[in-house]
């Protein structure tokens, strides 16, 4: 409530923090710590750390559409898949095309963003559950297409022997390399979604979420605002897909099931919807939990499901509330009014 009121009247500056550096330092501590500690970790935990970071970025991206705009997207994995297949097709022996990583990162993310807009134009008239179900259907359609367009995607066998990624002369091959890349991505995407939340667009999105008709009455072009949110969300999902394909150097439709979409939704819901910190915490929990349960072999997913139900029963609104986001931290540490 408070942050919305503040965002609506940025000129007043009443709640602006007096000092910016304490909050900024506190938030920078996380990536710096990751960069210092990360490379010393053994390979297995490092890989898990990479996955946590990847899901955190995905969660931040999905948060724009689910957390800020209040539109439940159950087919987010489709955008992720579009990104992954972009790298797999544009940098492998499949068509003997070998484009540079930076270019494909842009292409993959843009294609996903475009798909987001194309999907958004017809479906954004829908609300609530109906939107959720249509996006779910879209995700499944994309997966079935990948499974069956053998000529292009190689069908269920997937595409192997994908190129090693090179970014401005730096080879991305070990989990270390991807740690640096993912931390950089996390910082960029985190700042991006945080600033969106605080911008006029963020205000418009929360207005759409609270009451679409009232928002329209206030002169907000709700369709346009939702489309922009969809496109941003999809763009980030696509970029993550490219990185995922470069990291695995193998893609197959198996990686892009409905379950994957759910995990990303769970990341942000368990962590706390609409809160960038929530996405980080949610990703950590949801990726770490199955790894910790690995010892239980066959019982792993059973316990995982139980843990999910228990977490949701205990904290139906997520672990960190919406209001305790980065802006709150800045104010809290910077001596402004909270």
**Residue 68 CB, nearest distance to another protein (Å)?**
8
Only one residue has tokens 């962590």, namely: 271
Please identify, using beta-carbon distances, which residue of 164 and 210 lies nearer to another protein.
Answer: 210
How far from each other are the two terminal CA atoms of the chain, in whole angstroms?
12
Which residue in 52, 87, 93, 297 sits closest to 182, CA to CA? Answer: 52
Whole-angstrom distance, CA of residue 86 vs CA of residue 108: 5
Please identify, using beta-carbon distances, which residue of 92 and 153 lies nearer to another protein.
Answer: 153
Please identify, using beta-carbon distances, which residue of 38 and 158 lies nearer to another protein.
Answer: 158
Please identify, using beta-carbon distances, which residue of 96 and 298 lies nearer to another protein.
Answer: 298
Which residue in 185, 170, 301 sits closest to 239, CA to CA? Answer: 185
229 binds another protein (CB under 8 A): no
Q: Please identify which residue in 70, 158, 202, 326 interacts with another protein, judged by CB under 8 A.
A: 70
299 binds another protein (CB under 8 A): yes
Q: What are residue 91's DSSP bridge partners?
A: 98
- Point out which span in 30-38, 44-52, 63-71, 228-236 binds another protein (CB under 8 A): 63-71
- The Cα angle at residue 97 between residues 237 and 258, in degrees rounded to 5: 30
41 binds another protein (CB under 8 A): no
- # residues contacting another protein (CB under 8 A): 49
Binding string, residues 265-294; x marks residues near another protein by CB under 8 A: xx--x---xx--------------------
313 binds another protein (CB under 8 A): yes
211 binds another protein (CB under 8 A): yes
129 binds another protein (CB under 8 A): yes
Reduce the DSSP state of residue 73 to 3 states and report it: coil
Sign of the dihedral through C-alpha 136, 142, 147, 148: positive
CB 7 within 8 A of CB 203: yes
Residue by residue, DSSP assigns 75-144 as: -THHHHHHHHHHHHHHEETTTTEE--HHHHHHHHHHHHHHHHHHHHHHHTT--HHHHHHHHHHHHHHHHH
- Point out which span in 33-41, 103-111, 257-265, 277-285 binds another protein (CB under 8 A): 257-265
Please identify, using beta-carbon distances, which residue of 188 and 301 lies nearer to another protein.
Answer: 301
Whole-angstrom distance, CA of residue 262 vs CA of residue 74: 7
**Within 13 Å and on the Cβ side, how many CA atoms surround 73?**
35
* Strands, E assignment, 236-336: none
Sign of the dihedral through C-alpha 330, 332, 334, 337: positive
Q: Please identify which residue in 6, 226, 322, 331 interacts with another protein, judged by CB under 8 A.
A: 322
201 binds another protein (CB under 8 A): no
118 binds another protein (CB under 8 A): no
Q: What are residue 148's DSSP bridge partners?
A: none
258 binds another protein (CB under 8 A): yes
170 binds another protein (CB under 8 A): no
**Residue 36 CB, nearest distance to another protein (Å)?**
35
Reduce the DSSP state of residue 338 to 3 states and report it: coil
107 binds another protein (CB under 8 A): no
**Residue 60 CB, nearest distance to another protein (Å)?**
16
Q: Please identify which residue in 17, 163, 190, 209 interacts with another protein, judged by CB under 8 A.
A: 209
CA dihedral 224→225→228→234, nearest 10 degrees, is: -120
Q: Please identify which residue in 72, 111, 240, 330 interacts with another protein, judged by CB under 8 A.
A: 72
- Sites of contact with another protein (CB under 8 A): 67, 70-72, 122-123, 125-130, 132-134, 136-138, 140-141, 144-145, 147-148, 209-212, 258, 262, 265-266, 269, 273-274, 298-299, 301-302, 304-306, 308-309, 312-313, 316-317, 322
């Amino acid at each position: 409530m408070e942050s919305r009121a503040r965002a609506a009247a940025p000129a007043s500056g009443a709640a602006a923090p007096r000092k910016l550096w304490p909050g900024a330092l506190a938030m920078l501590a996380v990536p710096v710590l990751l960069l210092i500690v990360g490379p010393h970790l053994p390979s297995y935990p490092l890989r898990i750390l990479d996955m946590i970071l990847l899901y955190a970025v995905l969660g931040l991206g999905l948060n724009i559409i689910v957390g800020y705009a209040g539109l439940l997207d159950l087919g987010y994995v489709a955008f992720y898949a579009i990104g992954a297949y972009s790298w797999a097709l544009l940098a492998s022996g499949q068509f003997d095309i070998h484009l540079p990583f930076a270019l494909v990162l842009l292409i993959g993310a843009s294609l996903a963003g475009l798909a987001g807009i194309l999907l958004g134009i017809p479906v954004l008239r829908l609300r609530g559950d109906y939107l959720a179900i249509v996006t779910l259907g879209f995700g499944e359609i994309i997966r079935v297409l990948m499974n069956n367009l053998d000529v292009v995607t190689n069908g269920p066998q997937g595409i192997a022997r994908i190129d090693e990624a090179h970014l401005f002369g730096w080879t991305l091959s070990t989990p270390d390399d991807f740690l640096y890349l993912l931390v950089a991505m996390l910082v960029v995407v985190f700042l991006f979604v945080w600033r969106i939340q605080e911008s006029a667009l963020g205000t418009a999105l929360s207005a759409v979420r609270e009451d679409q008709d009232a928002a329209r009455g206030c002169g907000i072009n709700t369709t346009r605002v939702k489309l922009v949110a969809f496109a941003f969300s999809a763009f980030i999902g696509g970029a993550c897909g490219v990185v995922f394909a470069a990291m695995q150097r193998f893609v197959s439709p198996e990686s892009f099931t409905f379950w994957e979409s759910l995990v990303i939704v769970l990341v942000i819901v368990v962590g706390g919807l609409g809160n960038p910190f929530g996405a980080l915490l949610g990703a950590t929990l949801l990726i770490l939990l199955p790894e910790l349960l690995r010892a239980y072999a066959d019982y792993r997913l059973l316990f995982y499901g139980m843990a999910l139900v228990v977490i949701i029963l205990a904290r139906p609104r997520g672990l960190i509330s919406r209001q305790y986001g980065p802006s709150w931290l800045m104010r809290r540490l910077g001596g402004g009014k909270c």
